[in-house]
Structure 1
Amino acid sequence: MDRPDRDDPIPGTTGARVDTSVPNVARMYDYYLGGAANFAVDREAAERALAVTPEIGRFARMNREFLGRVVRYLCERGIDQFLDLGSGVPTVGNVHEIAHQHDPRARIAYVDHESVAVAHARALLVDEPDVSVTQADIRRPAEVLAAPGVAGLLDLSRPVAVLAVAILHFVPDSDEPDRILRTYCDACPPGSFVALSHASMTTMTKSEAHRGQDVYRSTPTPLVVRSRDEIAALLDGCELVEPGLAPINHWPSDTGESPANGYGAVGELR
């Protein structure tokens, strides 16, 4: 991915508190997807990760496609409210774009902690009355759920889809990702859904995974690669829809291609 050495201003980020001395995982993810909301430090870290673990770039692309399929599935199930945790930098195929194709009045609350992601999203979505962008740490569910952009937009007496797509692998075990996700789910009424995707090892070697994790240790949010069983445990108490927990590029059906190095699932809350 060729990019100029200099960093051009990113739309909407003027005045945002941005630390460009260390790489950021949201901006690295944006780079993997071919976006422009990233800095030299992010591109350098992303290229180091790709050099040792090319599957990281494939996972990012496959995960984006997984998100699109999930949102379309949920819309078909009648969901018109979405809480997108760790939403990242807006790119083509964002949740609101897909949801609004089904229902122009669908409500989407984006939540992210990264300044560039939030500022860029707010600039792009300023004319979207049914979309909000909240800067908050998803590890603090009570604060997120009480934030004006969430509490003031979503009606939690009606079904909501909680999206934890490619975010919990940045939450260490010490922060109890299962408890965090359960807190969000417990705030939603029966008939709601939760969608999850998470990095794992399916075709990567342990050496590749470890070297990739070494790169992410240079960021404020190191990558935690969990096993399939560990990922499944994050969804305890949810009634998974078919096909259950599957490689993200084999959900909801097997594509016949090599599985991506990550699992995904959608669960209904009873």
Structure 2
Amino acid sequence: MTSSAFETARPDSVTYLDRIAATDLGRSYKARMLDELGLQTGHTVLDLGCGPGTDLRALAEAVTPAGSVIGVDHDPAMVDAARARTAGLPVVDVRPGDIHDLALPGHFADRARTDRVLQHVADPRAALAEIRRVLRPGGRLVMGEPDWETLAVDHPDGELTRAYTRHVAERVVRNAAIGRQLARLATDAGFTVPEVVPVTPVFRDVQAADRILGLERTTRRAVAAGYFTDEAAESWLGHLTRGPFLATVTFYVVVAEA
């Protein structure tokens, strides 16, 4: 089931997040999110689920030394990495915290962002309500999330593709359809939603796709979970390596205003 086209060892979380940020897709959608935030000199901006601090420098440059940037993450390793990367930026404060229960006063921040965070949280509704609480009236939240139920990988046997996507949506990602749900959930939390921007990357190279999707590792998990037989997995992966290869998934950038 293993081919030299695929990674067999899972990268650590920091490496994986850095890898996505360095892709054309990562640079493109992050730039769009930054633009949609509309940051100004003196703003206070929250990066909720900041990871290893990938975006904190860009936020700091946008608000200038007159503003402030607060990065929050629940993972101590991410907090340590983000602090190390922003040690020379006095405008940035990185804190451990829970997006469902932020240790911040109400109406505190001008802007907030979440980048591929809500797909993993225990309660997206509670998280959105908490973000709404800490944003000032007129504040803005910009969210970026994939909709994993839209994942499509071309294969002559469509049933294998559907089995793979079902496994990702049902077993791999906690809130797999969050991308399409963001506008509704944000509205329910008291936001208005002026803009929803779909971004659909197209992967034509199997190795590039594997570095994001973990195709072989995910297929092995699908076999263990009963979505594929060993024989079906061999057929699935074999065709992907022989090509031509094509995969897509829709990513949503959603702007919400308090």
TM-score relative to the length of structure 2: 0.62
**Segments of 4+ moved more than 6 angstroms:** none
> Is structure 2 residue 32 aligned with structure 1 residue 69?
yes
Post-superposition offset of 1:247: 1.4
Unpaired runs of at least 5, structure 2:
153-160, 202-246
Change (3 A) 1:159 1:122: closer
Higher Rg: 2
Q: Is the 8 Å Cα contact of residues 82 and 109 (structure 1) preserved in structure 2? A: yes
> Is structure 2 residue 141 aligned with structure 1 residue 178?
no
Name the CA distance, whole Å, in 2 between partners of 1:24 and 1:85.
23
Deviations 1:50-83 (A, max 9, x none): xxxxxxxx7xx63553232222332356772211
1:133 aligns to what?
Answer: 94
Q: CA RMSD in A?
A: 3.6
Deviations 1:200-243 (A, max 9, x none): 13352543333435784xxxxx44211655332221132223xx
Change (3 A) 1:70 1:96: same
Which protein has greater RCO, CA pairs closer than 8 Å, 6+ apart?
Answer: 2
Q: Is the 8 Å Cα contact of residues 47 and 71 (structure 2) preserved in structure 1? A: yes
Change (3 A) 1:127 1:2: farther
Change (3 A) 1:107 1:188: same
Name the CA distance, whole Å, in 1 between partners of 2:176 and 2:137.
31
1:96 aligns to what?
Answer: 57
Q: Is the 8 Å Cα contact of residues 43 and 110 (structure 2) preserved in structure 1? A: yes
Out of 184, 187, 201, which is 1:233 matched to? 184
Post-superposition offset of 1:164: 1.8
Out of 231, 250, 254, which is 1:261 matched to? 250
Higher strand share: 2
Post-superposition offset of 1:190: 0.9
1:29 aligns to what?
Answer: 16
Any residues of structure 2 matched to 1:132-171 within 5 Å, and which?
132-139=93-100, 141=101, 144-146=102-104, 157=107, 159-171=109-121
Secondary structure, counterpart of 1:182 in structure 2: helix
Change (3 A) 1:163 1:118: same
Q: Which amino acid aligns with 1:145?
A: A
Q: Which amino acid aligns with 2:103?
A: L
1:43 aligns to what?
Answer: none
Post-superposition offset of 1:194: 0.9
Name the CA distance, whole Å, in 2 between partners of 1:96 and 1:193.
19
Q: Is the 8 Å Cα contact of residues 249 and 259 (structure 1) preserved in structure 2? A: yes
Q: Is the 8 Å Cα contact of residues 195 and 265 (structure 1) preserved in structure 2? A: yes
Any residues of structure 2 matched to 1:244-255 within 5 Å, and which?
244-248=195-199
Secondary structure, counterpart of 2:61 in structure 1: helix
> Is structure 2 residue 87 aligned with structure 1 residue 87?
no
Q: Which amino acid aligns with 2:19?
A: Y
Secondary structure, counterpart of 1:105 in structure 2: coil
* Aligned length in residues: 197
Name the CA distance, whole Å, in 2 between partners of 1:228 and 1:247.
9
> Is structure 2 residue 195 aligned with structure 1 residue 208?
no
1:120 aligns to what?
Answer: 81
1:16 aligns to what?
Answer: none
Deviations 1:35-54 (A, max 9, x none): 8xxxxxxxxxxxxxxxxxxx
Unpaired runs of at least 5, structure 1:
6-22, 36-57, 217-221, 251-257
